[in-house]
Amino acid sequence: MRLGGGASFLSTSLLKVLRELCAAAYVGVRIYLRYPMWILSDLITSPLWAVVILLPILLFLPPEAWGSGVVAQNFFWGMVLWYVVSTSLMGIGSAVRSEQQMGTLEQLLLTNANRAVLFTRRLTFELFSLTLNTAYMYVFVQLLFGKPITVENPLPVLLVLAAAMAIAVGFGLIYGTLILWIKNPGALSNILQFVIMGLSGIFYSIRGLPAPLQYISYALPFTYVADLLRHEAMGTPTLLPLHLEYLLVAALAVALNAAGYLAILHVEKRLKRTGKLGVY
């Protein structure tokens, strides 16, 4: 297809999306690397926050149990899942806000680029950050507890992590759409993060929650990811039969991404009707 004064365009939509993903990843990494203070801050603050979260939990145990391998394992995988939830809310959801503030949102929507790709601009960087933080936490937790972090089934763990990221992207797209609509989320990201961490059993099994709260937990997608991850990494029992839980996670990943994509298109159209697209 030739357009305008003669620019030629790729014809297959898959290649187009890949090209857009590459461009988005390139911009995300370039911008991040131009804020060196962020890299330094991330390296220092990650273990500090880990300590701030870990110590209050340890206070419920007798001091002689503080070095327990089970606690170390629970804590390590909890931190990994926390990064996944943060990626969803802060990395993907809040990226929309930054485009609004920079005044680039309308310019982006003037292109025919895939809307989901535009909103997941930071995904590549978030994946990189997740890998780095996981490795970093792996070393940190082992040093802190003096116990090795073992993984019972490495390949399924990787598979669950990939599914977790897919769910995070879908959930992030839905959350990003909400921000696109309401503009300034205020403290919503922080509140949601704690709600999800508390009710999805990020650091512990939801079986310990009061029964009414468990019903909410069963409705949250991250509950199944956390449960499967602990099962594959630590051998804990699952909430649902294993195959059913895998099936559910896969279905959730597809459904959330599809819902997120449709939500973006719907809200974009709605904002174009109300004239609030460029408002920030």
Partner 1 sequence: MERVRRLARAALGVYVKEMKIWLRYPTWIFAFIALPYMLSGLFNGIGYSIAGPRAVENFARNTGVSNPFLFYTLGTALLLATEVLLQDVAYSIRSEQLLGTFELHYLAPAPTWLIWILYLFPHSTIMVVVLLATTLPVLAFSGVLSSPIDFLYACSVLALGMLPLLGIALALAALVVRYKEPGAVVSLVQSVVILLSGYFYPLTVFPAWVSALSQVLPTTHVISILRSLLLAGEGVSPLDRRLLTLLALAVAYPVIGLYSYRRWESEARRRGELSKY
Partner 2 sequence: MEEAIVAEGLVKVFYTKERKSLFRSVKRRVEALRGVSFSVRRGEIFGLLGPNGAGKTTTIKILSTLLLPDAGEAWVNGFHVVKEASRVRECIGVSLYSDRGFYWKLTGRENLRYFAYLYQMPRREAEKRINEVLKLVGLENDADRLVEEYSTGMKSKLNFARALLHDPPILFLDEPTIGLDPASARRVRELILEMKRQGKTVLLTTHNMFEAELLCDRVAIINRGRIVAINTPSELKRRVGRNNVVEVEALNIPPSAAEALSSVRGLRRIYTRIRDPASSMGELRLIFEDGVDDLGDVLSAISRAGMKVLSVKIVEPTLEDVFIELTGEKLGES
> Which residues lie near partner 2 (CB under 8 A)?
3-10, 16, 19-20, 22-24, 26-27, 30-31, 34-35, 102-104, 106-113, 118, 269, 272-275, 277-278
Pattern 69-98, partner 1, x by CB under 8 A: -xx--x------------------------
| Nearer to partner 2 (CB atom), residue 38 or residue 215 | 38
Minimum CB–partner distance for residue 122 and partner 2 (Å): 12
H/E/C letters for each residue in 204-245?
CCHHHCCHHHHHHHHHCHHHHHHHHHHHHHHCCCCCCCHHHH
Pattern 259-278, partner 1, x by CB under 8 A: --------------------
Which residue, 232, 86, 72, 241, is CA-closest to 158?
232
* Sole binder of partner 1 in the list 198, 214, 271, 276 (CB under 8 A): 198
Which residue, 225, 28, 221, is CA-closest to 129?
28
* Sole binder of partner 1 in the list 209, 240, 259, 262 (CB under 8 A): 209
Minimum CB–partner distance for residue 196 and partner 2 (Å): 30
What 8-state DSSP symbol labels residue 91?
A: I
- Under the binding rule (CB under 8 A), the answer on residue 57 touching partner 1 is yes
Q: Is the dihedral of CA 73, 75, 79, 81 positive or negative?
A: positive
**Footprint of partner 1 on 7-36 (CB under 8 A):** 35
Minimum CB–partner distance for residue 136 and partner 2 (Å): 25
> Residue 251 binds which entry of partner 1, partner 2, none, with Cβ cut-offs from 5 to 8 Å by kind?
none
For residue 168, give both structure tokens.
């995070």
Q: What is the Cα 255 distance to its own chain's centre?
A: 16
- Under the binding rule (CB under 8 A), the answer on residue 211 touching partner 1 is no
| Nearer to partner 1 (CB atom), residue 188 or residue 259 | 188
- Under the binding rule (CB under 8 A), the answer on residue 186 touching partner 1 is yes
What 8-state DSSP symbol labels residue 3?
A: E
Which residue, 102, 101, 93, 162, is CA-closest to 122?
93
* Sole binder of partner 1 in the list 41, 104, 150, 153 (CB under 8 A): 41
- Which amino acid is located at 136 in the chain? Y
- Under the binding rule (CB under 8 A), the answer on residue 49 touching partner 1 is yes
| Nearer to partner 1 (CB atom), residue 37 or residue 211 | 37
3-state secondary structure of 110: coil
For residue 21, give both structure tokens.
């993903």
* CB-CB contact of 105 with 278 (8 Å): yes
